[in-house]
């Protein structure tokens, strides 16, 4: 059923839809951080960059000829599957299946020349560890939802390309 619907969607509609999904994800992350105080860890910010990049590619690809839009959608599938792997790695860190990477455990304070400048920086910069779940819904963290959404978007992109070659 879903494959039949993909046949009816034009490449521009698919790219606009992907752009809107990416924009909605970024808007949600912005609202959660700035209005509800739910801060993201460094891996969360990397996962956001996947959606920023994919949304930008989808928006720019909308003005290209149809043949290039086909290639863009195929490439976006790989970007989303990379985002799914990144989010899956984040889930593995949160569940303590893999060890915490160094960039997720502490800030780099080697550039400070005095204790006072270090203290000021510590007070200004909130830091969230990657193995802490800051928000969850139905027992699943945002990284799990991100992995599922990225996987679904990758499959949608590739399904559209397969159906509309």
**Tens-digit pLDDT profile for residues 109-157:** 555 566 676 666 655 555 676 677 777 778 888 888 999 999 999 999 8
Q: What is the set of domains in the chain, with CATH numbers?
A: 2-163 (1.20.1550.10)
Q: What's the average model confidence in pLDDT over 70-85?
A: 92
pLDDT band at residue 163 using 50, 70 and 90 as cut-offs: confident
pTM across the whole model = 0.80
Beta bridge partners of 141: 136
| pLDDT value at residue 1 | 44
Contact (CB, 8 A) for 43 and 130: yes
Nearest to 46 by CA among 150, 158, 156: 150
Alpha helices in the chain (DSSP H): 2-8, 11-34, 42-61, 66-94, 102-105, 115-124, 142-163
- Which two three-digit tokens encode residue 27? 């808007």
Evaluate whether 81 touches 151 at the Cβ level (below 8 Å). yes
């Amino acid at each position: 059923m879903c494959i039949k619907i993909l046949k009816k969607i034009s490449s521009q509609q698919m790219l606009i839809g992907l752009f809107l999904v990416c924009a909605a994800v970024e808007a949600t992350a912005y609202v959660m951080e700035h209005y509800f105080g739910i801060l993201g860890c460094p891996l969360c910010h990397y996962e956001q960059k996947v959606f920023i990049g994919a949304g930008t590619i989808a928006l720019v690809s909308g003005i290209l000829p149809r043949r290039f839009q086909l290639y863009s959608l195929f490439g976006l599938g790989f970007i989303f599957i990379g985002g799914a792997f990144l989010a899956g790695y984040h889930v593995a860190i949160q569940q303590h299946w893999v060890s915490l990477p160094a960039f997720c455990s502490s800030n780099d304070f080697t550039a400070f020349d005095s204790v006072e400048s270090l203290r000021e920086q510590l007070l200004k910069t909130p830091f969230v560890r990657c193995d802490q779940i800051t928000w969850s819904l139905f027992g699943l963290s945002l990284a799990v939802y991100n992995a599922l959404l990225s996987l679904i978007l990758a499959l949608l992109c590739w399904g559209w390309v397969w159906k509309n070659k």
